[in-house]
Structures are given as structure tokens and as C-alpha cells.
Amino acid sequence: MTTQNVTISAFSGGSFSAYLAIPDTQPCAGIVLIQEILGVNDNMRQTADAYAREGYLVLVPDLYWRLKPGIELDPEKQDHWAQAFELLKALDIDNGVEDLKASLSFLRQYPSSTGKVGSVGFCLGGKLAYFMATRSDADANVSYYGVEIDQNLAEATKIQKPLILHMAANDEYVSPSAQTTIQQGLKDNPLVTIYRYEGVSHGFSRINSSAYRKEAAELAGDRTLAFLKQHLGSGSKV
């Protein structure tokens, strides 16, 4: 596996950076890995590397580039969370989705790509992975503890490709009533699969953090890999 930073042209003009993890064996399917509110930090890079070791070409775009490029915040530092929430408030979600669609295009056109590309996102990225399902032609999408999905269920009619939602039962940012709303709103959609993990909170799959819960994270990870293999192909390990 090799890694590098690449530059992607935004559809609206300008360009932004992204972390790219490239598997040793090619050609390969791609994953747009979507950041939490903490930016493209060590957690996101390590997650990208793990998917690359499974044979996927993985791109982690910097969604804060219009506000402040190169943000990397530490989930274990409380003052970093305050900065993260300020950035979240300032982020234009629609621009973020367009940048993800540009990232999708980048991966599809990458020389070693099979053309099959999905998205996997966490927290803010989980919300944006839902929007990738409703607003893009990504081949498969995975949302980990996505926020505010209950407020955007009107878009669910636009889902054309398979979507997984991993929900934490004790999520402090997605209330039990919001989770019920999501489950009720999507239960009749055959393209959507919802997994709910009891006894865990927001961020349960965030490696190297106090929120990490091994059993739930590994179960969600196994389900995600099986889903990606089904809909994208098994990376480059065919």
C-alpha cells in the first residue's frame, strides 16, 4: 500500500486536497471516505489505510477547505471539539456534497479504478453518506452514526443504490425519537439496511479514541466489508 496527498478540482471552482491510500494490487474499486467534524486527521487516515489493505482505493477529501484547509483535530482534546462544532456550523452542506461528487468522479477516472465507487462516512460524514445515496450515483453508501438524517427523510425517495445506516443506540447526537423516525421513515425502502448497536454511543467505531467499542466496531466493520464486496466487488482481491 502507498499513500499520497492529491489535489481535486471542485465543480464550483478552486481545488481541495485529499488523502489517497492506494492498494498494492490493482485494478480496484474505490471508496470516498467522509470525515467526521474533526477533519482529515489520524483517525481518518488510519481508517483509509485499513480499507486500502482490504484492496480498495480510498480517498479522504478535505471538506473544510473553503473555511480553513488542512484541519486535523484530536477527539481526545476537549478544546478541539469546540473548534470542530464551530467549523460544522460554518460548513455549507450542499457544497460539501458537491465536493464529494467531485471526489467520486476523481476515483472513477483514476487509472487503476474499476469504475465502481462507494462512500463510507462517520458522524457528519454519516449524514453526507446519506446525501451521497440521495444526490449522487455512488454505487453503494455506508453511514456510521449519521446526524440529522431524521430531518432529511424527504430525500429518501431519491435513493437509487444500496445504503447501510449503522446507528448507536445511546447516540448523544441522535436521540431515540430521531432514531425511531429514521427507522419508520426508511423501513419500506428495500435499498436501505439499518443496524442498531445496543449499549454504545456516538463514535463507537472511532479507532484510538475513548468512544471506541471493539465488539460493535468489529461487527459493523464486518457488515460494511461484506456490503462493499457485494456491491463494489472485493477491492482488488478478486
- Region class of 143: left (phi > 0), else alpha (psi between -120 and 50), else beta: beta
How many Cβ atoms sit within 10 Å of the Cβ of residue 189?
13
- Strand extents, DSSP E, the chain: 2-9, 15-22, 28-34, 57-61, 113-122, 141-144, 163-168, 192-197
Identified catalytic residue from 62, 99, 150, 171 = 171
For residue 90, which of 76, 77, 71 has the smallest C-alpha distance? 71
Residue 150 is a catalytic residue: no
- Region class of 13: left (phi > 0), else alpha (psi between -120 and 50), else beta: left
For residue 40, which of 24, 16, 22, 14 has the smallest C-alpha distance? 16
Residue 137 is a catalytic residue: no
Q: Which residue, chain included where needed, has cell 471526489?
A: 103
Task: Supply 223's cell numbers.
Answer: 457488515
| Sheet with 15-22: strands ordered across | 2-9, 15-22, 57-61, 28-34, 113-122, 141-144, 163-168, 192-197
* DSSP label of 59: E
Identified catalytic residue from 62, 99, 139, 202 = 202
Catalytic residues: 171, 202
